[in-house]
Structure 1
Amino acid sequence: MSDPLRIIFMGTPEFAVPSLHALLDCPEQVVGVVCQPDCRQGRGKKLCPPPVKVLAEEAGIPVLQPTCICNDAFFEAISALEPDLIVVTAYGRILPGCLLKLPRFGTINVHGSLLPKYRGAAPIQWAVINGETEAGVTIMQMDEGVDTGDILLPIKLPITEEDTSGTLFTKLAYLGGRPSLRRYLGSREVTCLP
């Protein structure tokens, strides 16, 4: 793998921003970003873009905000970008199998827990509620289950007595970006799917 990978990033909330930053700082080429549609927020119900969209637009990267990801139009739009790899961090929807298998290196997910613990939504909150002494992020190969794919890289972080779900959220968002993604992509152990 000597040529830069063509990567599509899928993420929406603030938790995903450090992951996109990490990809933008790598030699890889982010060819597109997919995030949830803008939503109305606050008392005035002002239409606000997701944090990932804001960063992508600042970086000049094309952004897709589909309302449906299970149709031919979306699949064709992603296919046209010719991705080698899709990286997902807190996108907010379950991806169809055809999308997961589209890139030659498949689709990886940056998940905010030490899998297999705390699969699915709210892993950070559950780690705090359950009194865990450590948390972390896991880079995993995605399959059609919910956080059930092969674990590629887990990175641990101690939970301190002062940590709340808010402080842990910030720490894990950062950990999922530069330390995890850059380490994984830099290892050059990204392999083609069978």
Structure 2
Amino acid sequence: MSSIQVAVVTGSNKGIGLAIVRALCKKFSGDVYLTARDTGRGQAAVAKLQEEGLKPLFHQLDINDLQSIQTLRDFLKEKYGGLNVLVNNAGIAFKVDDPTPFHIQAEETLKTNFFATKDICNELLPLIKPLGKLIMLCFLEHHPSPFVCVKRALVIKHCLVLCSAVFCINPFPFILCCILLILLLL
């Protein structure tokens, strides 16, 4: 077991997750784990950051696979004795013009963005060390629907039950809807 601090960013092989890993590698005094469900893409992202002189580490994680989550949990517990920062970034969003039937989109979105995120919280929040942080990224990109707000509000409420420090980041003013829903659910 190590006294080194550790941060994990889910779904971080591209986009905002990758930018968060980059920023943490520059500012966080500890190990930073980039995670991705696809090992090749994850390792390619790590190599890209290493070319920039940064030192991220990689761990495979598919949030839709409970065994994958438990493998990460066991690794963190054994190597670090816990976790200092968890950034829940992984999620999916269908494009507005996606031809997939709505009921399939809803099912897949809930499976990943709610149930899988809840599984991450259930498995990893007990590892959060004192003064540790859980950061939930809640993006309402193309269509900030009440469905999306309710889904994220439920996840955040669930996390608040397990952990007292939850930070929610959302670039849209529509976050007020989520905050109101959270307050109603408390």
TM-score of the aligned structures, taking structure 1 as reference length: 0.47
Higher strand share: 1
Q: Comparing both chains, which one has the higher relative contact order based on Cα–Cα distances under 8 Å and sequence gaps of 6 or more?
A: 1
TM-score of the aligned structures, taking structure 2 as reference length: 0.49
Higher helix share: 2
